[in-house]
Amino acid sequence: MKDMHDFWADALRKYWGLDARLTRLDGEYDLNFLVEAKNGQDYVLKVMRAGCEPEFVDLQVKALEHITSEAPGLPFPKVLPSLDGAVLPEIEDKDGHPRLAWLLERLPGQCYAKVEPKSEDLILKLGRVLGATDRALTGFAHGSLQRDDFKWDLVKGGWIADQLDAVSDPSRRALLNEIVQGFTAISDALNSLPTQAIHNDANDYNILVEGELSERRTISGLIDLGDMCAAPRVCEVAIAGAYIVLDYPKPECALTALVRGYHATNRLSAEEVDLIWPMLRMRLAVSVVNSTLMAAENPDDPYVTISQAPAWRFLENEAVNGGLMSARLRSACGLPVVDGAERIHAYLSEHRGHFAEMFGQDLSDVPMGSLSVENSTWPQNPFHMPLEEAARVGEEFGEGLWLGYYNEPRLIYAEPGFRKGPWKASDRRTVHLAVDVFAPAGTVLRAPMSGRVEVVENRDSHLDYGGVVILHHETPEGDPFYTLYGHLDPEVCDRLKPGDPVAQGAAFVRLGDASQNGGWAPHVHFQLALTTDGMEADWPGVADPDELELWNAVCPNPAALLNLADDKVCYQPTDKQAVLQGRHDHFGGNLSLTYNDPVMLVRGWKHHLFDEWGRPYLDAYNNVPHVGHAHPRIQAVAADQLKRMNSNTRYLHPAQAAFADKVLSKLPDHFEVCFFVNSGTEANELALRLARAHTGAKGIVTPDHGYHGNTNAAVAISAYKFNKPGGIGQADWVELVEVADDYRGSFKRDDADRAQKYADLVYPAIAALQEKGQGVAGFIAETFPTVGGQIIPPKGYLPAVYEKIRAAGGVCIADEVQTGLGRLGEYYFGFEHQGALPDIVVMGKPIGNGHPLGVLVTTKEIAQSFDNGIEFFSTFGGSTLSCRIGKEVLDIVDDEGLQDNARIMGDRLMAGLKQIESEFGCVGDVRGMGLFLGVELINPDGSEGTEICSFVKNRMRDHRILIGSEGPKDNILKIRPPLTIEAEDVDMILWALRDVLKGVGDYAPAPVCDHDHHHAGCGCC
């Protein structure tokens, strides 16, 4: 081996003048070497097998030269001529055989096959590169491009027809037969296309990808031109597509992205686009037949059969709707979904106003009623539409005629059948593709234009159409299109049959009542379609908002057939960009937004939220909706109290004491006095005043990186704010102590005395305050530091701190805003875990479930010190409404067993996260309790993985899961859902996190020079 390396290293020196280290690369027949030259450059040396046909090597070399000169930006390597100017010198190998050798620049990146995840964005970029490559190759000519009997020339793929008997499984043989027939059907169209040089083999191993975290990846190389031939350019797309779709979770989306990308750099015609799908399947058929034949020759080689498996999985996957593919790919390219689309649109527009009145009257003044996600609260639970609600949908719009919008996202399609994945937050079809006309049951409908019955059925399953009719129509030029009428009286099934003519204006159906029409308030769902390919009788009445490009093209607005203007019936959700702009215009820049692509949320239910398009999100972040978003009991209590009165604590109301009793029932007996305020901030402000009134001192000791609120004093005790660049800095009455973080801090988990050691750190802080004459008013800490990184201090830490603070005369304040009220599962408050007894406890956020509410509880003694003659009054704190809501929240936690749920779900989540920690190097630590959890992400060197965390947080949002990030370096995922979360949601979080972490790979940030520890290339030393 060594000899061979030395030999070619010598040849390299002699022919190219390069001193280099050679490493053998893969290559079936030829010798390929990675060349690491002393000049710092890397190359690839290709030594062709003895006896290879020189014209095919010349073809590759010339093609590369052509591409790199035509389109220098494309990721192809330059060929480096030898010292005497030859690009393909013939060199005698050590056995004396002449070998052709060529030297190429080495392209960066790893092969696409090894990249995870293969995002649609990356596939789109691949499409762009392929399109641009084929454009660059249009003018390229070479004598060897015409390859006779070349089995990978897809145009000639028909060779497999005679070989199908090699496939023994009859159903697979039948499938291949069908594919071959489909291919034969398009062969005229294919043969009529111009041919040109194409790469012809963009498989996973011939594509290089560069980039760190997946969202920034780019195509850095398209290698191995060994299969080049002359063919229609659409073969390029079909061949690349045949690899891209394999084992892709949504193969149609992968193919769409590829075609969209290709079309962006190399425009395809509609006729070409139509060929892609049958050709893609044909390419896979060629692959499996070829490998079956090879397997017959090498019966002992298991690899051949293993390599077929993904292709068979794809070909036999019935979930992929091939019938819809042409429309899907055409719409991705902005091409008409059917050839007659423009004529149909023109016809409909021209005849608008002249179609027969479907309801026997002009509908232009009939009011619209919106059932949109934003405007409507049907159904109360967006995951379940009970029949009694369905039968009443839209009752607020009265009993007369009213119209429902086209293109309107709605949550009324709540059943699992509308979901596209296993989770509640999976993609969901929400957007209405029809116009509804609500009218009394029994109302007769007239055909807007003549046609013939295509389908007439009674779909009597739950919340389906009941009676439904599809009519077939034609434009005068003979372009077919179709209309659908759903929720009819099924009596129509006894009167009409497919093929029956229906005259324009004929009264042909009538509206069903809820017992006949699938269960809905009486109305017709009136939908137009330009094609029924891929859906036949089973048209989706609503679409996934992320597939609207396709569905708006297949099922356009049917307003013209109702003699209405398109705009009248076309719904426009609030424009997110406009809202964003309004935010920029009217708010300060430091009102921060989460996510690179912010999310606009307009409805919620328990632990799910919905954006303006009805996309569901699993809320694994927000602790404020403690008992769940839009809880019916909170709605009821708030509405009830607002109907009566809402006043303040200067007047008596039983709700005040009732709330105080409830709060105190959850606390040790020594807490006897409550203060009701508006926020956690206000409660902490008050806590400082109480502590100072009680002690007569001013100084406060608090852990680093804490957060206690946004007012002057609250910021002064929040190192997380005052110590940030631009912060107000540390006040002279504040002393910080290190957070008791036993993962990253000074004393680690292997130190049995760490609780005591962290607690001892308050001594110097106390001394410093005393020295400065501030004295010690108290110690305040988030019981489990959250912005500090979701940290659970070692047991015994707080009691030890409290002892020292009390000895110095201070009071101990527990900020339980994040940790209180059952979130921890095992404990109602965090201080219970510590075995500590604070003097003041502060509660906020969750206690109002979204209503602004803060509570402070303390001892009688401290309250008395504060009662120094000055009135305490907070206008809204302790309002009647707040007291009722606060008590209701605490009652719900008890009544629904939410503390127990936090424990059970927290354990499930923790077990899964621990498993994930063991699988992924970038997960440094998993910690927490109940539904207060942190996942610390780290770089390969163990440092804080800030970029990884941002990537994961954004990718989790793409998976429709809201989580946060936290910690001094923002590298800790914060998982903190409402306490209503269920097992399937926990499983979704774990599934998505695992998937997202795969995309982190071995990412490591570029080293940052701190001018003490230099690194190669830092340039400062």
Ligand X SMILES: Cc1ncc(COP(=O)(O)O)c(C=O)c1O
Compute the least distance from the CB of residue 398 to ligand X, in Å.
42
Rounded Cα distance, 972 and 957, in Å: 16
Q: What one-character DSSP code corresponds to residue 215?
A: G
Least Å distance, CB 1013 to ligand X, is 35
- Consecutive H or E run containing 802: helix 797-807
Residues in region 755-784 near ligand X by CB under 6 A: 782
CA–CA separation, 638 and 661 (whole Å) = 20
Per-position DSSP letters for 67-102, written without gaps between them: HHHH-TTSS-PPEEP-TTS-SS-EEE-TTS-EEEEE
Instruction: Tell me the closest approach of the beta carbon of residue 689 to ligand X, in angstroms.
Output: 16
Q: Does residue 72 have a cis peptide bond before it, meaning omega lies within 30 degrees of 0? A: no
Task: Determine which helix (DSSP H) or strand (DSSP E) holds 778, and give its type and residue range.
Answer: strand 776-782
Cβ–Cβ < 8 Å for 768, 761: no
- Judged by beta carbon, residue 556 or residue 852, the one nearer ligand X is 852
Q: Which is nearer to ligand X, 679 or 790 (CB)?
A: 679
Q: How many angstroms separate the CA atoms of 366 and 356, rounded?
A: 16
Q: Tell me how many helices (H) and strands (E) the chain has.
A: 29, 38
Cα–Cα dist 394/414, whole Å: 16
CB closer to ligand X, 684 vs 939:
684
**Which one among 331, 679, 702, 901 touches ligand X, defined by CB under 6 A?**
679
| Beta-sheet strands, E only, within 189-344 | 196-198, 207-210, 218-222, 229-231
Which residue type sits at 231?
A
Collapsing DSSP states into helix, strand and coil, what is residue 61? helix
- How far is CA 480 from each of CA 185, 328, 330, 339, 528, rounded to the nearest angstrom? 22, 19, 18, 10, 11
Binding string, 9-28, against ligand X, x = CB under 6 A? --------------------
Q: Nearest distance from residue 686's CB to ligand X, in Å?
A: 12
Choice between 378 and 802, CB closer to ligand X: 802
Nearer to ligand X, 394 or 846 (CB): 846
> Which conformational region is residue 868 in: left (phi greater than 0), alpha (psi within -120 to 50 degrees), or beta?
alpha
For the window 635-674, what string marks contact with ligand X as x by the rule CB under 6 A? ----------------------------------------
- Output 183 or 784, the one with its CB closest to ligand X: 784
Backbone angles phi, psi at 80, to 5 degrees: -100, 120
How far is it, in rounded angstroms, from Cα 314 to Cα 294? 21
Cα 326 to Cα 335, 547, 725, distances in angstroms: 10, 14, 55
HSE at residue 995, side-chain half, CA atoms within 13 A, is 17
Shorter beta-carbon distance to ligand X: residue 206 or 818: 818
DSSP code at position 320: S
Looking from the CA of 298 toward its CB, the CA atoms found within 13 Å total 9
Which region, judged by CB under 6 A, interacts with ligand X, from 497-505, 706-714, 945-953, 977-985? 706-714
Q: How far is the CB of 980 from ligand X (least distance, A)?
A: 20
Q: Which is nearer to ligand X, 516 or 681 (CB)?
A: 681
Residue of 703, 709, 810, 822 interacting with ligand X (CB under 6 A): 709
Helix (H) or strand (E) holding 470: strand 466-474
* CB-nearer residue toward ligand X: 269 or 710: 710
**What x/- string results for residues 810 through 849 when contact with ligand X is judged by CB under 6 A?**
-----x-xx-------------------------xx----
Instruction: Give the per-residue SS3 of 593-651.
Output: CCCCCCCCEEEEEECEEEECCCCEEEECCCCCCCCCECCHHHHHHHHHHHHHCCCCCCC
> What's the one-letter identity of residue 818?
Q
Residue in 256, 265, 517, 681 binding ligand X, rule: CB under 6 A: 681
Q: In the complex, what is the shortest distance from the CB of residue 200 to ligand X, in angstroms, rounded to a whole number?
A: 58
Q: Where are the beta strands (DSSP E) in 417-465?
A: 431-432, 435-438, 444-446, 451-459
Distance separating alpha carbons of residues 37 and 398, to the nearest angstrom: 81
Q: Which is nearer to ligand X, 287 or 783 (CB)?
A: 783
Comparing CB distances to ligand X, the nearer of 845 and 851 is: 845
Binding window for ligand X (CB under 6 A); candidates: 34-42, 330-338, 403-411, 705-713: 705-713
* Binding span for ligand X by CB under 6 A among 212-220, 264-272, 680-688, 978-986: 680-688
Q: What CA–CA distance (Å, rounded) separates 252 from 9? A: 47
Among 734, 737, 809, smallest CA distance to 776 is for: 809
Q: Is 877 in the site for ligand X (CB under 6 A)?
A: no
Of the residues 75, 278, 490, 680, which one makes contact with ligand X according to CB under 6 A: 680
User: Closest residue (Cβ) to ligand X?
Assistant: 680
Q: Which is nearer to ligand X, 563 or 786 (CB)?
A: 786
Point out which span in 557-565, 568-576, 703-711, 993-1001 binds ligand X (CB under 6 A). 703-711
Q: Which amino acid is at 839?
A: D
Among 708, 744, 903, 976, binds ligand X (CB under 6 A): 708
The least CB distance from residue 429 to ligand X, in Å, is 37
Q: Residue 242 or 780: which CB sits closer to ligand X? A: 780
**CA–CA separation, 821 vs 818, rounded Å?**
9
Shortest gap between Cβ of 603 and ligand X (angstroms)? 23
Dihedral pair phi/psi, residue 778, rounded to 5°? 170, -175
- Dist CA 183 CA 707 (whole Å): 66
Of 396-455, binders to ligand X (CB under 6 A) are none
Determine how many CB atoms are found less than 10 A away from the CB of residue 807. 10
Min dist. Cβ of residue 304 to ligand X (A) = 60
Maximum Cα–Cα distance across the chain: 108
Instruction: Please name which of 542, 567, 543 lies closest in space to residue 557, comparing C-alpha atoms.
Output: 567
For residue 717, the minimal CB distance to ligand X (Å) is 10
Which range of residues in 312-320, 329-337, 597-605, 676-684 is near ligand X by CB under 6 A? 676-684
Least Cβ distance, residue 823 to ligand X (angstroms): 12
Shortest Cβ distance from residue 621 to ligand X (Å)? 12
| Radius of gyration for the chain, computed over Cα atoms and rounded to the nearest angstrom | 35
The smaller minimum CB distance to ligand X, of residues 12 and 841, is found at 841
Residue 668 in tokens: 């040790």
Site for ligand X (CB under 6 A): how many residues?
14
CB of 416 to ligand X, least distance (A): 36
Residues 185-224 that bind ligand X (CB under 6 A): none
Residue 606 vs 708, nearer CB to ligand X = 708
The residue among 104 and 821 lying less far from ligand X, judged by its C-beta, is: 821
The dihedrals phi and psi of 194, each to the nearest 5 degrees, come to -65, 150
CA distance 147 to 159: 14
Q: Which is nearer to ligand X, 263 or 845 (CB)?
A: 845
> Among 68-76, 306-314, 319-327, 679-687, which window interacts with ligand X (CB under 6 A)?
679-687
Q: Which is nearer to ligand X, 830 or 945 (CB)?
A: 830
Which residues make up the interface to ligand X (CB under 6 A)? 679-681, 684, 707-709, 782, 786, 815, 817-818, 844-845
